[in-house]
Amino acid sequence: MNVVDIINKAVEQRRTRFAFELLPPLKGDGMGGVFESIDRLIGFDPAYINVTFHREGIKQAVRPDGSVEWHVVRRRPGTVGISAAIQKKYGVEVVPHLICGGQSKYDIEDALIDLDFLGLHNVLALRGDKSQNEKFFMPHPQGHTHAVDLVRQIAAMNRGQFVDGEVEECHHSKFSIGVAGYPEMHEEAASPEADIACLKAKVDAGAEYVVTQLFYDNARFFDYVRRCREAGITVPIIPGIKPLSTVRHLTLLPRTFGCHIPEELEREVLRHTYKDAALAPAEKIARVRAVFDALDVPRLTEQQISLRFDRALATLDGLNVPDARKEPLREYARSLMGRRK
């Protein structure tokens, strides 16, 4: 069953469904860790399981003569094989991710043929991130620059059209294509309107549903859906959510993904940490202090203290009373400013 059919069935049954996303294991690791993670979640009856695709990295090696050699390495390969193993073991639909980065059109075509042979007919088409040694995303010389081009290739394959055009009479694949959406705008988009125009192009090219980047402000998601509908995007839009598993996520996730965490949610997370009976007092203090330090609260607090003392002293200086009477208050203020906080 493809993802759109799963969504439509859930809507018909008025049932809330969820899916989760897995990273492939590091090269050299087996499937044990992946299966253990799924075993803990399979009881919640996930609608499907996403498997991410990770592009190559760059590894630096120093030669005996002191010169530096760079190697291209893939630390989390195996998306296609892992997806097949999961679907076979658990009988749950799996959605492997495909990316443009580091891939030629022929690499992508080979992956799609393998997926089709394995009975995996759902894919999430993404551009992917830039390589760690790039300032900007650079496509493979024989690859795609934008996710919309990848969508077009998959849709063409569904029509029996291959990259080299050599096969005329052939089996037609039947991939259901998902794409990414950004409620808080993609970091490279010129404007929110331009970002939605890019999404509209992907849908027009053959995308059947949208999965959003993670967000924590529901109002921004609902506004995004409204603007998509106004732009003529009618396909399902699935909200992407990442649970907060540590207090540090309050500062780490906004820096990494550019998402906004509402103040009410921040307060609730800190309140929960404070009330967690399983945490020792020292650990509670350490977690909250880590958030305060990441937000630069100590320095900002010192600034506000200094500002208010300066205002108070300026007010004192403006009083029409003898300086001798003001001096004890000045001394007291200086003692307060110099104390340890």
pLDDT digit string, tens, across residues 268-319: 887 877 677 777 888 777 877 777 777 677 788 888 888 888 888 888 888 8
206-231: pLDDT as tens digits: 999 999 999 999 999 999 999 999 99
pLDDT at position 254 is 87
Residues 321, 223, single domain; the answer is no
Q: How confident is the model at residue 168 (pLDDT cuts 50, 70, 90)?
A: low
Locate 70 and state its tokens. 């760079």
Write down the pLDDT at residue 123. 96
Whether 322 and 194 map to the same domain: the answer is: no
Query: Looking at 215, 241, 267, which one is the last position of a domain?
Result: 241
Would residue 276 count as lying in a domain?
Answer: no
Residue 184: DSSP 8-state? T
pTM: 0.77
Q: How confident is the model at residue 340 (pLDDT cuts 50, 70, 90)?
A: low
Per residue in 43-94, pLDDT (tens digit) is 999 999 999 988 766 667 777 887 777 666 677 778 999 999 999 999 999 9
* Token pair in block for residue 139: 């496509």
| Residue 284 is assigned to a structural domain of this protein | no
Give the count of alpha carbons within 13 A of 271, CB side only: 6
| Three-state secondary structure of the chain | CCHHHHHHHHHHCCCCCCCEEECCCCCCCCCHHHHHHHHHHHHHCCCCEEECCCCCEEEEEECCCCCEEEEEECCCCCHHHHHHHHHHHHCCCEEEEEECCCCCHHHHHHHHHHHHHCCCCEEEEECCCCCCCCCCCCCCCCCCCCHHHHHHHHHHHHCCCCCCCCCCCCCCCCCEEEEEECCCCCCCCCCHHHHHHHHHHHHHHCCCEEEEEECCCHHHHHHHHHHHHHCCCCCCEEEECCCCCCCCHHHHHHHHHCCCCCHHHHHHHHHHHHHCCCCCHHHHHHHHHHHHHHCCHHHHHHHHHHHHHHHHHHHHHCCCCCHHHHHHHHHHHHHHHHCCC
Residues 128 and 49 in one domain: yes
Among 194, 216, 241, identify where a domain stops. 241
Whether 135 and 15 map to the same domain: the answer is yes
One domain, residues 51 and 199: yes
Q: Are residues 186 and 326 in the same domain?
A: no
CB 259 within 8 A of CB 216: yes
Residues 6+ apart with CB under 8 A from 69: 60, 61, 62, 63
Domain shared by 197 and 328, yes or no: no
Is position 268 within any domain? no
Residue located via tokens 């990259």: 163
CATH number at residue 227: 3.20.20.220
Domain of residue 56, residue span: 3-241
**Other CB atoms within 10 A of residue 304 CB:** 10
Q: Can you give the pLDDT at residue 177?
A: 97
Domain membership of residue 178 (yes or no) is: yes
For range 236-258, the mean pLDDT: 87
Percent of residues, the chain, with pLDDT higher than 90: 50
Residue given tokens 């609608």 in the structure block: 47
> Is there a domain that residue 262 lies in?
no
Q: Is 186 exposed, middle or buried (0-12, 13-18, 19+ CB in 10 A)?
A: middle
pLDDT-derived band of residue 167, with 50, 70 and 90 as boundaries? low
Which amino acids are annotated catalytic?
21
Using DSSP, state whether 305 is helix, strand or coil: helix
The reply to whether 135 and 8 lie within a common domain is yes
Look at residue 149 in the predicted model and tell me its pLDDT: 96
Average pLDDT of 138-143? 87
pLDDT band at 165 (very low <50, low <70, confident <90, very high): confident
Give the amino acid at 133. Answer: N
> Does some domain include residue 250?
no
Q: What's the mean per-residue pLDDT of the chain?
A: 87
Q: Is the pLDDT of residue 341 over 80?
A: no
Query: Are 227 and 305 in the same domain?
Result: no
Question: Does 274 reside within a domain?
Answer: no
Residues 48 and 190 in one domain: yes
Contacts of 27 (CB under 8 A, 6+ apart): 74, 75, 76, 77
Cβ contacts of 22 within 8 Å, gap of 6 or more:
34, 37, 38, 49, 50, 51, 52, 82, 86
Tally of domains within the chain? 2
The arithmetic mean of pLDDT across residues 8-26, rounded, is 91
Final residue belonging to a domain, choices 205, 223, 241 = 241
Note whether 191 and 302 are same-domain residues. Answer: no
Domain membership flag for residue 37: yes
Residue position matching structure tokens 């540090």: 248
Considering the domain architecture, whether residues 191 and 312 belong to the same structural domain is answered as no
